[in-house]
Chains A and B, each alone.
Chain A
Amino acid sequence: MNRLDYSVARPASNALVVNKVIRNTYTLLAATLFFSALMAAVSVMLRMPPMTYLLSLGGAMLLIWFVLPRTANSSSGLGVVFAITGLMGFGLGPVLEAYLSLPNGSQIVGTAFGGTGVIFLGLSGYALTTRKDFSFMGGFLFAGMLVVLIGALANIFLQMPAFSLAISGVVIMLMSGFILYDTSRMIHERDSNYIMMTISLYLSMFNIFISLLQILGMTSSDD
């Protein structure tokens, strides 16, 4: 009898834990996206210089690497998540301002924003409904990310627009893979942390948005 109770109760508690992680992650992600957009708007209004992008990104990376892992299991982790996403949103200001100054700038920014949302919702919906385990992609995604970073570093010196476009395309594919991978981790890993999941999904969306902006900006200026 005990065995029967155990076998019935355990999957139910697993499902509850999984649902709680998914619900908390998406709630926090929605709040951080809103906050990030607000900070981007403030940054555009203040007409921040281009260096803001690098400084904000650098500050956010330092928080992700050194502060977030120590605070992710406590309530102070929430403050760190908002600090990271706020900084990254603020850094977006000069980038958005540059694109908005193009003839069809508002269309490019709007399309990149909507496109990012559609890609995220589509891929998350796919991973959540199929409930496939994408953990096998981990090594491939991280190795791919390293190759992209080395390529981006080389292109700072090479200055090849076609290579830059190719890098943006690969980043979108890799980040799409990361969305599938992270969503599947929320379903299949019992000890997944919703604060870390939120940052991971936010970074994927941020990178897709920046890469889409670059692709749409380059292809529309070719016309």
Chain B
Amino acid sequence: MDWMKIGSAVLLIAMILFLWPRAKMMLKHSPEAKPGDWQGVILPILAVVGFVILLAMLV
């Protein structure tokens, strides 16, 4: 295994360890979504997905 892989693994493990408590806290304290809230997120994200597919087809 080369040094790049070892370095990447160490960096990713550090990120996971650092993010873990934050994610737990956010899951506990994030406000509940109201009806229709997710719709306002899914539409722009789908537009981004469509845009990325278009870019991949163009290049």
**A65, A111, A123: the one within 8 Å of B59 (CB):** A111
SS of B interface (majority): helix
Q: Do B45 and A176 touch (CB < 8 A)?
A: yes
Q: Interface residues of B toward A: which range?
A: 35 or more
Is chain A's binding surface mostly helix, strand, loop or mixed?
Answer: helix
- Central interface residue in B7, B11, B29, B44, by most chain A CB within 10 Å: B44
Write the A42-61 contact mask toward B (1 if CB under 8 angstroms, else 0). 00000000110011011001
Q: In the complex, are the beta carbons of B30 and A135 less than 8 A apart?
A: yes
Q: How far is the CA of A104 from the CA of B55 in the complex (A)?
A: 14
Question: Do the beta carbons of B41 and A137 come within 8 Å of each other?
Answer: yes
Query: Across the interface, do B4 and A50 meet the contact criterion of CB distance under 8 Å?
Result: yes
Residues A143 and B23 in contact in the complex (CB < 8 Å), given A111-B59, A216-B59: yes
Q: Quick check: B52 and A136 within 8 Å, CB to CB? A: no
Quick check: B4 and A111 within 8 Å, CB to CB?
no
**A132-B40, A156-B12 given; A115·B55 CB < 8 A:** yes
Identify the A interface with B (CB < 8 A).
50-51, 54-55, 57-58, 61, 65, 104, 107-108, 111, 115, 118-119, 122-123, 126, 130, 132, 134-143, 145-146, 149-150, 152-153, 156, 169, 172-173, 176-177, 180, 212, 215-216, 219-220
**A-B CB contact pairs (8 Å), 9 listed:** A55-B7, A61-B14, A61-B18, A111-B58, A136-B31, A142-B19, A216-B55, A220-B56, A220-B59
